[in-house]
Each structure stands twice: as C-alpha cells, then as structure tokens.
C-alpha cells in the first residue's frame, strides 16, 4: 500500500470508497482482517500501541477470498 492509502486506513477511512464502517474479520496475533461495508474491500492490518504498523490488501469474497462466518463476525448495520 502507498502512504496515502495507509494514512486513510489509519484514520478509519476506506481508501477505495471513503467509507467509515468496517466489519471485523478473523484475527491472529496483532493482525486483524477488516472489510469495508460500503465496497467490500478487505485489508489485513496490524497495530502496535494503538498505531497502525502495516496494512495489506487481501482478496474479497468475490475475488476468491475466504468466507467469513456470519455467526463469528456479524455484519455491521449502517
């Protein structure tokens, strides 16, 4: 990700659509998967001491990414 995209994610803004509502996905260690409710873009982010350290795009469900079980990670309602 470029610096501008990383800055947007750090501010809670989707770099693709400008949305601010995120659906949490699976996590492990310091990494957390997130999905934008507006455009369904997915990212894997890592935080340390409350600051974003890294963020990477991951495939959305429509692009071959895994399905996030609804009972574990319910969708956020707008």
Give the residue among 77, 31, 24, 73 at the shortest CA–CA distance from 54.
Answer: 31
* Cβ atoms < 10 Å from Cβ of 68: 17
Tell me how far apart the alpha carbons of residues 29 and 7 are, in angstroms, rounded to a whole number: 22
The structure tokens listed for 16 are 């693709």
Tens digit of each residue's pLDDT (9 = 90 or more) over 39-57: 999 999 998 887 888 999 9
Tell whether pTM > 0.95: no
The pLDDT, as a whole number, for residue 29 is: 87
The predicted structure's pLDDT at residue 66: 84
């Amino acid at each position: 990700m470029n610096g501008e995209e990383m800055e947007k994610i750090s501010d809670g803004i989707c770099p693709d659509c400008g949305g601010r509502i995120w659906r949490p996905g699976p996590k492990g260690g310091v990494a957390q998967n997130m999905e934008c409710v507006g455009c369904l873009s997915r990212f894997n982010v890592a935080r340390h001491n409350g600051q974003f350290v890294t963020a990477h795009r991951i495939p959305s469900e429509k692009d071959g990414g895994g399905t996030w079980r609804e009972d574990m990670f319910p969708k956020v309602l707008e």
